[in-house]
Amino acid sequence: STAAPKKLTIGLIPGDGIGKEVIPAGQQVLQALPSKYGLTFDFMNLKAGFEEFKNTGVALPDETVQTLKTKCDGALFGAVSSPTHKVKGYSSPIVALRKKMGLYANVRPVKWVQGQGIPVDMVIVRENTEDLYIKEERIFNRNGEKVAEAIKRISEKASWKIGKIALEIALRRQKVREQTSDSIHKSASLTVVHKSNVLSVSDGLFRETISNLYKQDLAKYGSVEYKEQIVDSMVYKMFREPQIFDVVVAPNLYGDILSDGAAALVGSLGLVASANVGDNFVIGEPTHGSAPDIQGKGIANPIATIRSTAMMLEFMGYPEPAAQIMAAVDANLKENKITTPDLGGKSSTTDVVEDVLRRL
């Protein structure tokens, strides 16, 4: 006898530009998963983005948020254009979505292709709700001079939550490694990034909270090596010897900067995936933007989105199909034949998707 397959409802938010060209790749990959996993999928197309804002005056419709909250098990987000100058009434819908859905962690793996370039296999876990991003800024007059200030807020609770999810990710990666031996790491480690030599109170709280969390549950986390790194030397080391880092956890701003820096280690933005994770929901999101320069040409690299789709499944509690998708992508990259122009190839988005589907 066979159990009835489980049906998962996935929200699709293509957004702007190449978001519309790459999100279908995520959908196709899910539809092509082997039946042995017992999963079937329903998809709901949802609106958000700068184009939506220009058409309706609203960048993130309530309906999108409500549908995600009440009908979806997970979601994929493409990209939104960010106007370079301030547009009245517009603010980034993905930033708003992270807040409204309680997605406190941004998880970004950066992985090399075996045999090509610099060996790197790390995951940056960025706190996503506070630090300088609370946007409490003001400008004032001091003795006739203009002065601006911004508040950096770090809470014990948010630091604890991000530390915990980072440690869980380190344990999970260790487990996957034991099964596949496909890694440059022999054992798991967590690196806490901070600047508490200068910001001893705020970054100090971040560092101490995670250090305490680790020490209080050594029975669980003891197999993960605990390390700390001051952010400036972190940047230096990440470019000199990225292979020493496994899971890296950082407050919002340092995490933002480190994430883009790490993406540069593996060549194209079109390869780098991410997941926005909360306690009850996950949104997979390629890290690239709407790429207006290649929009409509059919050459956007779909791999960042395909990997984000695998991450979505992983955080929804389905690590096996996630690993199979990742392996199909790795095989495509390792062969290095059917690739889009950002990787020096001549293939189209569709060609790459078809190659990955064939390998699945």
Q: In this chain, which residue has its C-beta nearest to ligand ATP?
A: 289
Taking the CA atoms of residue 294, residue 296, residue 301 and residue 306 in that order, the dihedral angle to the nearest 10 degrees is 140
The residues in 265-324 that bind Mg ion, with binding defined as CB under 5 A, are: 289
Closest contact distance (angstroms) between CB of 333 and ligand ATP is: 14
Which of Mg ion, ligand ATP, none does 108 bind, CB closer than 5 to 8 A by kind? none
Q: Considering beta carbons, is residue 23 or 304 the nearer one to ligand ATP?
A: 304
Rounded Cα gap, residues 331 and 319, in angstroms: 18
Closest contact distance (angstroms) between CB of 332 and ligand ATP is: 14
User: Up-side HSE of residue 25: CA atoms within 13 Å toward CB?
Assistant: 35
Among 9, 40, 82, 114, binds ligand ATP (CB under 6 A): 82
Q: What one-character-per-residue DSSP string does 253-307 give?
A: HHHHHHHHHHHGGGS-GGG---EEE-SS-EEE--SS---TTTTTTT----HHHHH
Whether residue 309 contacts residue 26, with contact meaning beta carbons closer than 8 Å, is answered with: yes
Closest contact distance (angstroms) between CB of 262 and ligand ATP is: 15
The residues in 252-291 that bind ligand ATP, with binding defined as CB under 6 A, are: 269-270, 288-291
Q: Considering beta carbons, is residue 18 or 25 the nearer one to Mg ion?
A: 18
Determine how β-strand 282-284 pairs with β-strand 74-79: parallel
Interface pattern 294-333 for ligand ATP (x via CB under 6 A): x-----xx--x-----------------------------
Q: Considering beta carbons, is residue 194 or 288 the nearer one to Mg ion?
A: 288
Rounded Cα gap, residues 267 and 112, in angstroms: 9
The residues in 161-190 that bind ligand ATP, with binding defined as CB under 6 A, are: none
Which of ligand ATP, Mg ion, none does 292 bind, CB closer than 5 to 8 A by kind? ligand ATP
Interface pattern 144-163 for ligand ATP (x via CB under 6 A): --------------------
Residue 114's CB is within 10 A of a number of other CB atoms, namely 14
Q: Considering beta carbons, is residue 133 or 226 the nearer one to ligand ATP?
A: 133
Three-class DSSP category at 89: coil
Q: What type of residue sits at position 168?
A: E
Among 12, 29, 72, 79, binds ligand ATP (CB under 6 A): 79
Whether residue 192 contacts residue 205, with contact meaning beta carbons closer than 8 Å, is answered with: no
Closest contact distance (angstroms) between CB of 298 and ligand ATP is: 11
User: Up-side HSE of residue 202: CA atoms within 13 Å toward CB?
Assistant: 14
Rounded Cα gap, residues 241 and 238, in angstroms: 6
Which of ligand ATP, Mg ion, none does 304 bind, CB closer than 5 to 8 A by kind? ligand ATP
Q: Enumerate binding residues for ligand ATP (CB under 6 A).
A: 18, 79, 81-82, 269-270, 288-294, 300-301, 304, 340, 342
